[in-house]
Amino acid sequence: MQLAIKTSQKIMQVLSPQLVQHLEILQYSTNELEQYIYDKATENPLLVVTDATVKMQYEEIMQLASYSDKSYSAQAPQNHSFNPIEMKFAVKESYEQYLLEQVPMHKNLSSVDLKILTFLIQSLDERLFLDVDVEIVANKCNTNVLHVEALLDLLQTFEPVGVGARNYKEYLLIQVDSDALAPKLASRFIEAELELVAAQAIKQLSKKYKTSLNNVKKTVDYIKSLKPVTTGDKFEAIPFVIPEVEVERLGEEWLIKLNRGYLPNVTIDKQYVEMLKNDPNCKTYFNDIMKDALLLLQGIEQRDKTLYELARLLVELQEDFFHNGIEALKPMRLKDTADILSLHVSTISRAVRGKFIKTAHGVYALQSLFTKGVMNISGKIDSIMYIKKRLKQLIETEDKQKPLTDQQLTNTLNSEGIQISRRTVAKYREEMNIMSSFNRVYG
């Protein structure tokens, strides 16, 4: 037995604690960041947090309104009893309205498309799962199943994430598909290995998929962290939307404003700093909490800077949208934006997560301005989920004696107007756990 020493080069990205916290703060919406700031203030005595001016004004108005209500209620008959069933229907109706308001954000929809999409929205149950078979919808709307499924794919890109799922597995897959940071094997594990994931069979999955234990553990932990299904008794009202960015036209220029009015003001207590700094017994403790406080302040500043740069680029790339509304929105991907700003696509994904932009034409989710999919010859975008379904359909109906190669599948999709490469076809096929034509053996 001969021993040998080999050297190899490997590039690894190690995130500093500062960058980790900056990325964590970047992904928070205004409501989440507000809660995070208050949580930090309870942990760190150096931090002084003052309620936002807008919030204080709002609370004062509500307090005055409550006084008015009390004076009126003394004369009014007391017959208002809480009805949970009525409340449940009211919330469901508000969600229907919320979803219907997202329909105009998608252009090139025919009258039949709108009819099908409306029918699908009205056929959601209390979990926002689809409560009707696509075959029934196709018959009712005088169309084919593939047409209905394409519009269901579109509905499944709406907010909240997971809407339109037909079962728990699809609910999880929609969440993965909408997350640019999802582990590579997450979809395959959900489609084929949920029992092993639930059993934490890390070694078995590692061996089966020929990947490291660490990769499997990260994927399993990610799947377990996905949002659980909301049941009827936990059906929540639509949260109040606070746009993080506002864009308006001022003369010949576009004015970009970061909406900081709802965030509390954060400062450092100078008296407490002086007291601890001069105490030799608190040197280590002081250094730790000072570092933590500065990380928070720097993280908020970096979040503002990233959101401003992103908004500035959006104005530059989508000026027609800001002039004319959603009908003028051009296809745009997270990756393209990341490349222009010299940032990682995961940073842009965090920056748009759960955030909204206010324009002259309405308030839009930042994520809705980015199109995830493949452009077809007509200039429209076909969703990845739709392309995968079409691939699966082609493979299921192929000649069993002569399975379609990836190139033949690519040619068929290209002939249907979907501009896609053979490599991408192979990638989607593997993600669906479908073997290559050489290994597809039929009995």
Model pLDDT for residues 73-83, shown as the tens digit of each residue: 333 334 444 34
Beta pairing, strands 356-359 & 245-250: parallel
Whether residues 200 and 134 share a domain: the answer is no
Is position 54 within any domain?
no
Residues 141 and 183 in one domain: no
Task: Specify if 27 maps to a domain.
Answer: no
Burial of residue 211 (number of CB atoms within 10 Å: 0-12, 13-18, 19+): middle
Question: DSSP letter at 418?
Answer: B
Q: Are residues 334 and 382 in the same domain?
A: no
* Residue 353: band (very low, low, confident or very high) from pLDDT cuts 50, 70, 90: confident
The lowest-confidence range among 174-188, 226-240, 314-328 is 226-240
pLDDT tens profile 277-333: 888 888 888 888 889 999 999 999 999 999 999 999 999 988 988 988 776 777 787
Instruction: Classify each residue of 365-391 as buried b or exposed e, where b means 16 or more C-beta atoms within 10 Å of its C-beta.
Output: bbbbbbbbbbbbeeeebbbbbbbbbbb
Q: What's the pLDDT tens digit per position in 253-277?
A: 999 999 887 788 888 888 888 888 8
Kindly state whether residues 349 and 252 are assigned to the same domain.
yes
Residue 96 domain flag? no
The yes-or-no verdict on residue 131 having pLDDT over 70 is yes
Structural domain span for residue 424: 374-431
What is the pLDDT, as a whole number, of residue 74?
34
Tokens representing 81 are 């009893």
Same structural domain, 280 and 353:
yes
Q: Are residues 139 and 184 in the same domain?
A: no
Question: Helix 283-317 crosses helix 345-352 at what angle (to 10 degrees)?
Answer: 90
Q: Give the single-character DSSP code of 104.
A: G
Long-range contacts of 49-58 (CB under 8 A, 24+ apart): 49/264, 49/265, 49/266, 50/264, 50/265, 50/267, 51/264, 52/261, 52/262, 52/263, 52/264, 52/265, 53/261, 54/261, 54/262, 55/262, 55/264
Average pLDDT over the chain, rounded to an integer: 78
Residue 247, SS3?
strand
Instruction: Look at 55-59, 162-166, 244-248, 249-253 and tell me which has the smallest mean pLDDT.
Output: 55-59
Burial class (CB in 10 A: 0-12, 13-18, 19+), 95: buried
Residues 346, 263, single domain; the answer is yes
8 Å CB contact between 319 and 43: no
Nearest to 102 by CA among 164, 174, 159: 159
Residue 29: inside a domain: no
Separation of CA 396 from chain center: 31
- Does residue 167 register a pLDDT over 70? yes
Answer yes or no: is 270 within a domain.
Answer: yes
Final residue in a domain of this structure, among 319, 349, 369:
369
Q: Among 226, 256, 274, which residue terminates a domain?
A: 226
Question: Do 250 and 346 reside in the same domain of the chain?
Answer: yes
- Local confidence band at 194 (pLDDT 50, 70, 90 cut-offs): confident
DSSP letter assigned to residue 232: G
pLDDT reading at 37 higher than 60: yes
| Rounded distance between C-alpha atoms, residue 194 and residue 268, angstroms | 48
Q: CA-to-CA distance for 14 and 33, rounded, in angstroms? A: 25
Spatial contact of 95 and 128, defined as CB atoms under 8 Å apart: yes
Return the structure tokens found at 370. 């980015």
How many domains is the chain built from? Answer: 4
DSSP 332: -
Residues 124 and 178 in one domain: no
Q: Is residue 130 part of a domain?
A: yes
Q: Are residues 359 and 288 in the same domain?
A: yes
Residue with tokens 């070694």: 203
In this prediction, residue 375 has a pLDDT band, given cuts at 50, 70 and 90, of low
pLDDT band, residue 87 (cuts 50/70/90): very low
Contact 300, 308 (CB under 8 A): no
Domain end, chosen from 134, 155, 176, is at 155
394 and 324 share one domain: no
pLDDT at 384 over 80: no
Structural domain contains residue 187: yes
Selected residue with higher pLDDT from 263 and 69: 263
Q: Are residues 145 and 216 in the same domain?
A: no
